[in-house]
Amino acid sequence: MKPKHLALAILITAIWGLNFSVIKIGLKSVDPFILAGIRFSLCALPVVFFIKRPDTPWRYLLAYGFVFGVGLWGVVNLGIHAGLSAGIASLVLQFSAFFTILFGAVVFHESVSKYQLTGIVIALLGLASIILVSDGTVTLTGVALVIFGAISWSVANVIIKKSGTREVLAFLVWSSLFSPLPLFAIAYLTRGMAGYAALAIQLDLPTVLSILFQAYPTTVFGYWIWNSLLKQYPVSTVAPLSLLVPIFGMLGSVAIFHEVLGLTKVLAIVLIVAGLTIGLYGKQLAVRLRRQPVETSKMTAQ
């Protein structure tokens, strides 16, 4: 990967990691579902007028918009609002990778390797460590909601794969049309007009910047750059960099909210990242390690 493209990829993972802290800033003034609704309204408008609709049935756009907008980000916002720290939320959400593997086995009859099973077990030990954290940055409700968000993300991945689209950015923008109305409706059904009244009174510059950051750098720009890199380079080159997201997520929470990284949290981070690495890339790493002694012996013989 060219240095400038590597720098772009790392920038995107930093933006995605920092986004969890940015969400927490917005939640100080805005209802979780209204915040997500405004985010996806801006993702769709006015960009939808400049991007052609992807060649995929409307049902996939509607389903993805609902699951990605409501099931993922609406619920993750609610989890952070329920007391889960931004850093821990960024870490727990990575379990979507494992749910995607399991859904792939059920829906697409893909095999689950020993590396993937090992990675799941190791990551679950990390999740158990998180539940033991008692410094006020973890709530069982928050963890459960973000786990639900991780499951929704996996379902969204299945939907986009079933759609067969190759125009991922256009798919994201057009599907975002179907996210705001359900999100705004849920906010009204759960709190009436209270959330909207609070928005009108409490909307300030940090909240506006939070919303804009979530909509454009995180969603539109982030997915555009990431998918552009996936078109230029093998998935095996680009995808591993996504492991940096929870690292940046935790660092952002430490820098902005002064979250303390105790031994239990560090252990959880190590276990979950190690589980992700083994589960997603263990087979490739094992193949490379087996090849290296062979190549070394050939060079010695020459």
Check whether 141 has a pLDDT greater than 90: yes
d(C-alpha 254, C-alpha 179), whole Å: 31
Tally of residues, the chain:
302
For tokens 């959400």, name the residue: 93
pLDDT reported for residue 275: 86
Span 169-186, pLDDT tens digits: 899 999 999 999 999 999
**Total of domains in the chain:** 1
Mean pLDDT confidence for 118-134? 86
pLDDT interval class at 23 (50, 70, 90): very high
Residue 295: per-residue pLDDT: 54
- Distinct helix (H) and strand (E) counts, the chain: 16, 0
Going by C-alpha positions, the residue among 70, 194, 92, 68 that lies closest to residue 142 is 92
Alpha helices in the chain (DSSP H): 3-26, 32-44, 58-66, 75-81, 86-92, 96-107, 114-131, 140-163, 168-175, 180-191, 194-202, 205-213, 222-232, 235-238, 244-257, 263-301
Q: What residues make up the domain containing 140?
A: 3-301
Which pLDDT value is given to residue 38?
95
Q: Are 274 and 124 in contact (CB under 8 A)?
A: no
CA quadruple 59, 175, 243, 95: dihedral positive or negative? Answer: negative
- Which pLDDT tens digit goes with each residue over 212-221? 999 999 988 8
Instruction: Provide the 3-class DSSP secondary structure of residue 222.
Output: helix
Indicate the pLDDT class of residue 223, thresholds 50, 70 and 90: confident
Q: Tens digit of pLDDT for each residue in 41-59? A: 999 998 899 999 998 999 9
Determine the distance from the C-alpha atom of residue 20 to the mean position of all C-alpha atoms in its chain, rounded to a whole number.
9
b (16+ CB within 10 A) / e for 131-163: eebeeebbbeebbebbbbbbbbbbbbbbbbeeb
Report which residue type is found at 101: I
Q: Is the pLDDT of residue 194 over 80?
A: yes
> Among residues 178, 156, 199, 187, which one has the least CA distance to residue 78?
187
pLDDT category at 226 given cuts 50, 70, 90 is confident
Q: Is the peptide bond before 46 cis (omega within 30 degrees of 0)?
A: yes
Structure-block tokens of residue 104:
């792939």
Structure tokens at 6: 């590597």
| C-alpha–C-alpha distance, residues 153 and 12, integer Å | 18
**Angle, helix 3-26 to helix 244-257, in steps of 10 degrees:** 50
